[in-house]
Structure 1
Amino acid sequence: MRRLGELEAEIMDRLWSWGRPATVREVVDDLNRKRPLAYTTVMTVADILFHKGLLRREKERRAWVYEPTRSRESYTAALMADALGVSVDRSSALAHFVERISPDEQEALRQALRSLTPGELTPGEQG
């Protein structure tokens, strides 16, 4: 999964933050508080996000209503998995990652690992 472009990220950020479906008009109005963007530009990018599978849409009257197909956390996890996937030495890459995160994030990682049941790990991951 590739990273989102700047406008893609801004659109997704709003939809994730709002936690509800929204029209392109709502997104445009919110984005325009920061910088001017054409309705058609935001509509085109929302359509691209739909075709990439990051948004689903449903017709309401004459407008499409968009919502994310996955949570922000799920998207972030997919990015992390893809980044790890390009490493030849995954253990070393993970060690370097853990060295760079804060102590609070390290503790959150420990808790996440403890919360997994042995059945949730693949055979190569079980220790």
Structure 2
Amino acid sequence: MGRTRRGQGELEGQVLGALREAEGPVTAAWVRERLGGDLAYTTVVTILTRLLAKDVVARERQGRSFLWTPTADVARLAALRMRRLLDGEQDREAVLASFVTALPPGDEQVLRALLEAAGPRGPDPRPGTHADHADHDDTQV
């Protein structure tokens, strides 16, 4: 029996999902057990620490360990990944255009409705960007 290797993004989503199922703050050991116990404890702590750096979980010290709680949902985590990918591209406009033209009609309608609800936005303050959108605070969705 071989183990299936999970990617970082998949692991982050699973860890965040487990935290969201908890009825309160939990330990890394609880998260590990909730995910089936096949991950090393250190892997779970590493993923939790990455999620902390992305501001989607919080931790509080309890004795010699930490208790972890979610501060965002899996959708927020996916949005952060999408944003990070987009920020790494030279031609944002081309990437966004390609993304929009590849959307199925239902998703395109949802995106249009969301953009309409957001209202008009000013130019992007970051140098070298072409797309017009609001000054984003990465701590909010």
**TM-score in same-fold range (> 0.5):** yes
Among 13, 16, 19, the residue aligned to 1:15: 19
| Residue 57 (str. 1) matches residue 36 (str. 2) | no
Q: Which residue of 1 aligns with 2:31?
A: 27
Instruction: Give 2:70's aligned residue.
Output: 68
For structure 1, the residue ranges without an aligned partner over 5 or more in a row are: none
TM-score by length of 1: 0.67
After superposition, the C-alpha distances for 1:70-125 in whole angstroms (9 at most, x for unaligned) are 3333322222222222333322211211122222211110110110133xx12363
* d(CA) in 2 for partners of 1:23, 1:54: 16
Secondary structure of the corresponding residue to residue 58 of structure 1: strand
Greater relative contact order, per chain length (Cα 8 Å cut-off, separation 6+): 1
TM-score, normalising length: structure 2: 0.62
Partner of 2:123 in structure 1? 123
Q: Which residue of 2 aligns with 1:36?
A: 38
CA distance in 2, matches of 1:82, 1:115: 23
Aligned residues: percent identity? 32
Contact 2:100 2:108 in 1 (8 A): yes
Question: Higher helix proportion, which one?
Answer: 1
Q: Which runs of 5+ in 2 are unaligned?
A: 1-6, 125-131, 134-141
Partner of 1:96 in structure 2?
98
